[in-house]
């Protein structure tokens, strides 16, 4: 593998078309498309400042690198990538990709990040600010995620999340096949219009959670006191530990909790309107 070390590059497409190359301590300064249409690339201890520095690169390892604010939209259309121990300050990373793994990565502007990614693995990743990360992703595995970005996981399929702390709005909206373990989910309108959602050992906070969901399962979950109007128009099997403030108009299923503040059924309750709701004895 060829090594390019301790150099600075700028301008338009300075490292276009490279193959089988390792970059060590390089800096991509102002310019566009620093590394483009490449194959089998490695980068370590590098810094990226210019726009779109890593497009159409298949087969890459990126470690201990920094992506500045100006490196927006930095990594698109690049398959088979592993990124470890990096800091990203730019928005709109990781678009239209297949086979992407991130480990110990901090993204400080998560705006429109992870769009259209298939076979995504995330371990010990932090997302800060921005909107709509993980839009239209499929086959996602998460173990260790801290996020305060808005509208996390929209229109996703086949998602498994473990050990996450998510503070957001409208998370897991219109998703299919989602399982979340041992996590804190704080935000309004959790999992609305989704299908086949399973939450295990999770704490749920925020208004109107888990409405309009088909095939919803909760196992050993807890609810914050502010969670009102839960389960409206949902098909639900729920084992709730502790209290839940309000259950409203579930369609069918079975809900058991240690304490229920109120059960609301009104004229808008949908048929078959036969959900069994009970306090644990």
The model's pLDDT over 137-151, given as tens digits with 9 standing for 90+, comes to: 999 999 999 999 999
Q: State residue 252's pLDDT score.
A: 98
In this prediction the pTM is 0.95
Q: State residue 281's pLDDT score.
A: 85
Taking the C-alpha atoms of residue 139 and residue 121, their distance in angstroms, rounded to an integer, is 9
Q: CB-side exposure of 227: number of CA atoms within 13 Å? A: 28
Taking the C-alpha atoms of residue 115 and residue 93, their distance in angstroms, rounded to an integer, is 8
Whether the per-residue pLDDT at 30 is higher than 90: the answer is no
Residue position matching structure tokens 């100006």: 70
Do the Cβ atoms of 120 and 139 come closer than 8 Å?
yes
At 262, the pLDDT band (50, 70, 90 cuts) reads very high
Question: Mean pLDDT for the chain?
Answer: 97
Taking the C-alpha atoms of residue 52 and residue 67, their distance in angstroms, rounded to an integer, is 11
Taking the C-alpha atoms of residue 149 and residue 129, their distance in angstroms, rounded to an integer, is 4
**DSSP conformation letters of the chain:** -EEEES-EEEEE-TEET-EEEEEES-EEEEEE-SEEEEEEEEEES-EE-SBS-EEEEEEEEEES-EE-GGGTT-EES--SEEEEEEEE-SSS--EEEEEEEEEEEEES--TT-SEEEEEEEEEEEEE-S-B-TTTT-EEEEEEEEEE--BS-SBS-EEEEEEEEEEE-SSTTBT-EEEEEES-EEESTTTTTT-EEEEEES-EEESSS-S-S-EEEEEEEEEE-TT--SBTTT-EEEEEEEEEEEEEE---EEEEEEEEEEEEE--TTPPTT---EEEE--
Do the Cβ atoms of 189 and 170 come closer than 8 Å?
yes
Do the Cβ atoms of 46 and 63 come closer than 8 Å?
no
The model's pLDDT over 37-76, given as tens digits with 9 standing for 90+, comes to: 999 999 999 999 999 999 999 999 999 999 999 999 999 9
Q: What are phi and psi of 236, to 5 degrees?
A: -140, 140
Whether the per-residue pLDDT at 133 is higher than 90: the answer is yes
Q: State residue 267's pLDDT score.
A: 94
The model's pLDDT over 218-235, given as tens digits with 9 standing for 90+, comes to: 999 999 999 999 999 999
């Amino acid at each position: 593998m060829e090594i390019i070390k301790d150099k600075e590059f700028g301008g338009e497409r300075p490292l276009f078309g490279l193959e089988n190359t390792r970059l060590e301590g390089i800096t991509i300064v102002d310019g566009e498309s620093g590394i483009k249409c490449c194959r089998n690339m490695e980068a370590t201890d590098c810094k990226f400042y210019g726009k779109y520095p890593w497009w159409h690169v298949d087969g890459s390892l990126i470690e201990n690198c920094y992506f500045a604010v100006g490196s927006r939209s930095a990594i698109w259309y690049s398959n088979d990538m592993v990124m470890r121990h990096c800091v990203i300050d730019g928005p709109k990373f990781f678009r239209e990709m297949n086979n992407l793994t991130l480990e110990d990565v901090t993204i400080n502007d998560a705006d429109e990040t992870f769009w259209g990614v298939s076979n995504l693995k995330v371990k010990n990743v932090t997302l800060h600010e921005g909107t709509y990360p993980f839009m239209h992703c499929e086959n996602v595995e998460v173990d260790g995620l801290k996020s305060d970005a808005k509208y996390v996981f929209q229109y996703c399929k086949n998602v498994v999340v473990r050990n996450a702390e998510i503070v957001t709005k409208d998370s897991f909206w219109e998703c299919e096949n989602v399982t979340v373990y041992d996590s804190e989910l704080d935000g309004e309108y959790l999992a609305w219009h989704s299908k086949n959602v399973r939450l295990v050992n999770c704490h749920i906070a925020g208004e109107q959670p888990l409405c309009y969901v088909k095939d919803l399962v909760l196992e050993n979950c807890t609810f914050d006191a502010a969670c009102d109007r839960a389960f409206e128009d949902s098909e639900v099997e729920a084992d709730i530990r502790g209290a839940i403030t309000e259950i409203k108009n579930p369609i069918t299923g079975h809900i058991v909790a240690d304490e229920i503040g109120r059960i609301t059924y009104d004229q808008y309750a949908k048929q078959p309107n036969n959900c069994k709701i009970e306090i644990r004895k």
